[in-house]
A and B are shown apart, each in its own frame.
Chain A
Amino acid sequence: MLELRDISKVYSPGSVNEHVLFRHFNLTVEDGQFISVVGSNGSGKTSMLNLICGSIPADEGKIIINGKDITRVREHKRYRTIGRVYQNPAMGTCGNMTILENMAMADNKNRPYNITPGINRRRVAEYRAMLSELGLGLEDKLGVPVSNLSGGQRQALSLLMTTLTPIEFLILDEHTAALDPKTAEIIMQLTGRIVKEKKLTTLMVTHNLRYALEYGNRLIMMHEGNIVMDHADEAKQALKLDDILGKFNEISIECGN
């Protein structure tokens, strides 16, 4: 279980640009939930993910994972149980290293990075099998530097690398937004499959309302640092695209747009 308790976050406090993002924000994510997070730009979706992962510190409040307060735990330590895929496909892989090197490195997460050989030859067949399941032809390119791959290929590889070792939470930060519609579809299907197979608790920020509806068992909409819509399970299943769009318009009118 992941909890955000009473979180406050102010950007540039005391200056003319002061921007209060969160004021006493609360969110509880139950184990096994797959939450789609939607909301307009600047509503705090990505900031929320950054707070959870420790990329930015919270001004007030607590972040609790499985009953343990991790508010002061440093970012890299939090990733022991968290996997994250970014919007930019280049963020999740090392471009100058080969596919094989990238996968071998990811495969060693939570174990010591010592001076034993970087690639475990006995695992290569398994990497190849996993890559071939993607259907992107990556299994024949193990020795190719990742910078030579397309955005979609890189993102698929990022997703695979992130979930190669056991994690509890998967954080997806608009991970299909930089891809063409067809590739986005492939990555989303892969995401759905991995989350189901590995039973990952997932938070997915997306601007694609169809994906938000189609995937996951809970949907939240954020606006100005608040959750303005929250439906889980049956209520989420019953949700229609028009319901979300309607809520979006309501919010926009409040803002005077």
Chain B
Amino acid sequence: MNVLIGILEEGLIYSLLALGVLITYRVLDFPDLTVDSSFPLGAAVSAILTVNGMNPVLTLLVAMVAGGLAGLVTGIIHVKFKVRDLLSGIIVMTGLYSINLRIAGRANLPFFNMNTLMNNPFVKSFPAALQPWSKVIVVLVIVLIVKVLLDLFMNTKAGFLLRAVGDNKTVVTTLACDEGFVKIEGLVLANALVALAGAVMAQKNRVFDISMGTGSMVFGLAAVIIGTNIFKNRQKVNSSTAAIIGSIIYKACVALALSLGLVPQDLKLITAVLFLGILILGNGLKKKVKFHA
């Protein structure tokens, strides 16, 4: 039971990150490495503000603004200065590492004795039977709100344009819109979500750690790819649902690997190997489809 709760807690938190990666990787077709640093950026902002007594829910919103700014910088470097997408992300990722340290003041910032998002009088007032699930419930509420808003946004005029720019930017240009500007918009939105994930993670663990972002890009990609591959043939399941479920499945796989005797030091290796496995499996599936067609 504890393992299941752990999987759901982490899987759901990382699904916010997966939604961000969904926007950059799937919708915009932009391999955005900013993610690896905007995740701890959200955590640092949320941690330091909580330590200073701000309401934890408000810290999430500030963290999103900070993440959005990181995306904005990546976008401007790429669009205005014509630096390649991968490099723009790497530049911001590298720079943010120092900024994250500055924001938090140190590499590890615990706040165990503060009220947090999942540890406050309101959550403690849940019925006793729900107490073990309290973190899952809080995260689930956040994920559902974000998912619904994101789905609504994707069906607005601005959302259409965002989808169009990753699909075929010529169309955006001939519609008299600046495709670069739309790309920047997408990066802002995506990194705001990633920072939100980092902030929620910090709130759950009641600690900010500078290394918590390492590998988050890979995690997000894996979640998105698992999700979209599983639900490829189901029109009813939209891509945001797929990314959320993909994230939970991925966490479950990691938990399974750990329960088979691997230790936490192996975590990143497990992440990498699982991701490779998914990519190879995904390619195999594609080939099969082609063969039958």
Contacts and interface: CB of A to CB of B under 8 A. Distances in A.
A95 B29 CA distance: 14
Interface in A62-102: 74-77, 79-80, 83-84, 86, 90-97, 101
B243 interface: no
Given A75-B173, A80-B176, A116 B157 contact: yes
B161 A95 contact: no
Interface stretch (B1-9, B79-87, B164-172): B164-172
Contact of B155 (A80, A83, A117): A117
A97 B176 contact: no
A208 B40 CA distance: 60
B156 A95 contact: no
A118 B155 contact: yes
Contacts of A86: 170
Nearest to B168: A94
Contacts of A118: 155-157, 159-160
Contacts of A117: 155-157
A95 B174 CA distance: 16
B151 interface: no
A96 B228 CA distance: 14
B173 A97 contact: no
A31 to B, nearest CB: 21
A119 B156 CA distance: 8
Interface residues of B, number: 22
Given A113-B158, A116-B157, A91 B176 contact: no
A104 B168 CA distance: 16
Nearest to A80: B176
B179 interface: yes
B175 to A, nearest CB: 5
B168 to A, nearest CB: 5
A108 B157 contact: yes
Given A75-B173, A92-B174, A118-B155, A113 B161 contact: yes
B161 A105 contact: yes
A105 B157 contact: yes
B153 interface: yes
B151 to A, nearest CB: 12
Nearest to B153: A115
A162 interface: yes
A137 interface: no
Nearest to B177: A76
Contact of A104 (B153, B160, B170): B160
A113 B163 contact: no
Contacts of A17: none
B275 to A, nearest CB: 24
Nearest to B170: A91
A112 interface: yes
Contacts of A105: 157, 160-161, 164, 171, 175
A113 B160 contact: yes
A78 B124 CA distance: 60
B157 A113 contact: yes
Given A76-B178, A76-B179, A118-B155, A92 B171 contact: yes
Interface of A: 74-77, 79-80, 83-84, 86, 90-97, 101, 104-106, 108-110, 112-119, 162
12 contacts: A76-B173, A76-B179, A93-B168, A97-B167, A101-B163, A104-B160, A115-B153, A115-B158, A115-B159, A116-B157, A118-B156, A118-B159
Ranked nearest first, the 6 interchain pairs of A and B with the lowest CB-CB distance are A94-B167, A113-B157, A79-B176, A118-B160, A115-B156, A80-B176
Given A76-B177, A119-B155, 19 more contacts: A76-B173, A76-B178, A76-B179, A79-B173, A83-B174, A84-B174, A93-B171, A94-B164, A94-B171, A95-B167, A96-B167, A97-B167, A105-B175, A109-B175, A109-B176, A113-B158, A114-B156, A115-B156, A118-B155
